[in-house]
Amino acid sequence: MISRKRQVLYIMVVVSAVSFFYNSNHVFNHSPHSVAPYSLVQSLQLTLQLPRNTTSRKVIVQSYIKNLQSQLVGRVQQQYQAGDKEVYLKRRSHVKNACKKLNRTRNITPKELRLQTSVVRTPNLLYCAIPKCGTTFWRRVVVALTRKDPSIRSPFLLSYSDFNVNKAAFNRTLLKPKNFHALQHLLNNSLKFVFTRDPYHRLFSSYVDKIYAPNNQFWEVIAKKAALLVRKDIRDPNATCGQDLTFREMVRYLNTLSPQKYDEHFLPGSLKCDVCSVEYDVIGKMETFIKDMTYILNKSDSVGRYLQFNDVSAEYKVDYIVDAVTRAFLFKNNDNKRWKSWTKCISTHAANQRIWRQLQIGGYIDKTDPYPLSSRESDVISMTEYINMALKAFKRSSKKAKAQKTEAYLQAYSELSRDDLETLREKYLDDFYLYDYNDRPKDLFEQVRKEKLWDFNYYDLLNVK
């Protein structure tokens, strides 16, 4: 006979084992030691000495992220709290009521449904992407879950060159009438989710990453057209590349167009993923990204089984810095018939300063930490040398740097007139109502026409060539 005391001991061991298994699969929990995020970053060795001629985006991303992850293992324990199911039920209820009030009767077309969504079969997920709402992260997740490659368990190890989601594309045969039941089965048995964002913040983020940062593609497609339209004194199409387009000019340009004609990065989310036609199970928000992401990945049983994270916050920040630099450098060397290299518009020194400023606006580098290179040094710095320089600045940044994003956001909107702001509000009105965002935030509408002295000008580089 087993003694009572030993029975209790066995039960405790089994419960502990079950608890460990559950936690390893349902939370981001990876080590017995917990370190505060701020002190953690400062204690890590983030830089790498890669060959100067390393320009492969995939090699660079994987090198820096693997280096980071190898240090995080055993040093950080992240247990992210998932959002409460009631929150998502309330969001769904709000959307349903808003659709009725807005009289949104338009049904999404089969073609739109196919082009907008990515499908993962195991686990069953259906994701609709709204640009600038965490799409980079979620596209990586989709690819990682589709591939099920044991060597790529972290979405952060995937670079932009891996973002081909054709294998997760919506199967067009499901849209044929004879496959109606198969389509219904997919919709009924998939965890359907979409992520949204406050329209004012989403618009600002698109401006910083796509127009203020060196990006000859967006300069050609959007910024140049906008400058020629809103600047009365410009008649020569070759007078500008659009590299000096201000936030105010961009808003004025958008205000002249129907939202349906916007580039997808500026397109209202309500026109991209029609929540009045498809009843999504989870409407995530960038403002609660970690909780919503954790809820989705836990509910689909993806973490531990297919995906692995160490510290999402640290990994995201390093990834953003690496991506900002590699993207700008690759645009510099991209000189084909379709897109001109940005060297045709601004100098390498000016572009490199803008990358630095982009990171300051994002709160990764202190605004008091100036771009350290001369014009001659800018001309010869390699991609990986710039990444190392930025990561060192990121490590020495203070906690105050986080507030810079809000400060830069308010400074950009302070340049708008009341009419500009009111017209912009109308363009995104459905988004405000559907996703429960304040269409008249005090920090924007009460600062209009009020003179404010800023101690730092985030946009003074627009005139630097």
CA gap 215, 351 in Å, rounded: 9
The burial class, CB within 10 Å (0-12 / 13-18 / 19+), for 31 is: middle
Structure tokens at 412: 């950009």
Rg value, the chain, Cα: 24
53, 142, 315, 327: which is closest to 216 by C-alpha? 327
Place of tokens 């807005």: 102
The conformation of residue 335, written as its DSSP 8-state character, comes to -
280, 263, 276, 279: which is closest to 202 by C-alpha? 263
CA gap 9, 392 in Å, rounded: 50
CA gap 20, 15 in Å, rounded: 9
* pLDDT of res. 107: 62
Torsion of CA 301, 302, 303, 306, to 10 degrees: 130
* pLDDT of res. 235: 67
Q: Give how far the C-alpha of residue 196 lies from the chain's centroid of Cα atoms, to the nearest Å.
A: 11
* pLDDT of res. 21: 36
* Predicted TM-score (pTM) of this structure: 0.89
* pLDDT of res. 178: 79
Residue type at 161 in one-letter notation = S
Residue stretches of the chain with pLDDT short of 70: 1-39, 76-79, 105-115, 235-237, 334-340, 448-451
Neighbours of 89 (CB within 10 A): 11
Structure tokens at 251: 């808003």
CA distances from 167 to 49, 126, 179 (A): 35, 13, 19
